[in-house]
A and B are shown apart, each in its own frame.
Chain A
């Protein structure tokens, strides 16, 4: 397959807490001949704090990025982070309203381009290039024997008409990808429930209780790992896993890798190019199981 290029918006956590998501995303895209061209001088989308404070401020922060992409001639911008995706898409849609556009333009150095590029997730970007069969054809080390659940979080699939992820209650794209990689993927009922989002710092019970509910179900279902696509979800379910366990009066030991990390493993990427060392709950047991599965299978 020939190399395709997309403009790429990494999002701030790529440079900090989700450096492993960033690393694995780039590795996987590299292996799949998808060229990611990082937007020059991109800025923070404002995340939850900006839209919680003011819709126009949030849009202005997002539109500066979309405008840069437009100047670069990009048609499509990929981003790994669902929160960035949601903010960028909301901003793009709201700019269609002339009054809103005028208010946002007032906040910018110069009025934004009339036509702003579409934004999509890395997951959907990969899916656009590779259907299930095409992905399977690229798999070198199938994830045989692994029992996985896919967890999308609350932002990825809704609002449905904006996020375009199929049934907002029951997205299945990640399952399809992981199945293509040879894993056994079981339907995870809480796949779109909220982990507690950015409340970890100001209101710990919010993340602890919601994340505990998700982790508890994953453990009860006998999952080897809960696979995620969102930096914030990953932090709440992995780094804050002990906090969640404490609030539920139990202990958890459940790996919470990014889907790109598992995709990378299946595509045969060296583990040191997938940022696996950043995971708080280690993937080692899982890797052994997968190898065992391959030998048996």
Chain B
């Protein structure tokens, strides 16, 4: 907060251009009214508000932007995009920043990414989400073994969570169901590595 940023030397126009190209949004039209911040349901968990992130993108302050917690805490609810007076899809900019940060291995809030990976792991194996599996994997990954323990009695009593994974029935489709999904994810991973980005 208190440091002085030398924006003349930190400015990276290529970063601004890359964000604009990937997101398809013209950030120069942002006039900093703050409407995106005003409506953001995740703002309380942000270290930089979304309008400040837009400012950082305008100025080309790459590190300042890609190292925020905010881009990981974004809920993708698109309230910002809906109400932007300049028709900027702000949520698309946030998603682009998240992708850029991930590809470079900048993960400021690891638990969020761990949750995503836990979710996608179950999809890779079963072809469909397995909620208890996701929970278990996430607890292991994050070492937060008490996550949502308070919900367990209620959830189990109401059978809200299926104990048995619902894999894609193999006989239903010629491509072997779950394995086809596994192959999609495998190809994605191999291509990312080939292209030199973190999958």
Contact = CB atoms under 8 A, between A and B. Distances in A.
A231 to B, nearest CB: 10
Interface stretch (A102-110, A129-137, A217-225, A254-262): A102-110
A37 interface: no
A243 B162 contact: no
Binding site secondary structure of chain B: helix
A169 interface: yes
Contact of B160 (A53, A57, A199, A239): A239
B158 A51 contact: no
B65 to A, nearest CB: 17
Of residues A48, A193, A203, A280, which shows the largest number of chain B Cβ atoms within 10 Å of its Cβ? A203
A120 interface: no
B151 interface: yes
Nearest to A241: B154
B81 A16 contact: no
Range, interface on chain B:
35 or more
Interface in B155-198: 155, 158-162, 166, 168-169, 172-173, 175, 177-178, 180-181, 183-185, 187-188, 191-192
Interface string B115-147: 111011001000111110011001000100001
Interface in A139-153: none
Contacts of A158: 78, 81-82
B151 A239 contact: yes
B6 interface: no
B35 to A, nearest CB: 13
Interface of B: 41-42, 44-45, 73, 75-79, 81-82, 89, 95, 98-99, 102, 111-112, 114-117, 119-120, 123, 127-131, 134-135, 138, 142, 147-148, 150-151, 154-155, 158-162, 166, 168-169, 172-173, 175, 177-178, 180-181, 183-185, 187-188, 191-192, 199
29 contacts: A12-B129, A12-B166, A16-B129, A16-B131, A16-B161, A17-B131, A41-B175, A43-B128, A48-B76, A49-B117, A52-B76, A54-B99, A57-B185, A61-B123, A64-B180, A64-B184, A154-B78, A155-B77, A158-B82, A194-B75, A200-B148, A201-B135, A202-B112, A204-B148, A205-B44, A209-B44, A242-B150, A277-B158, A280-B154
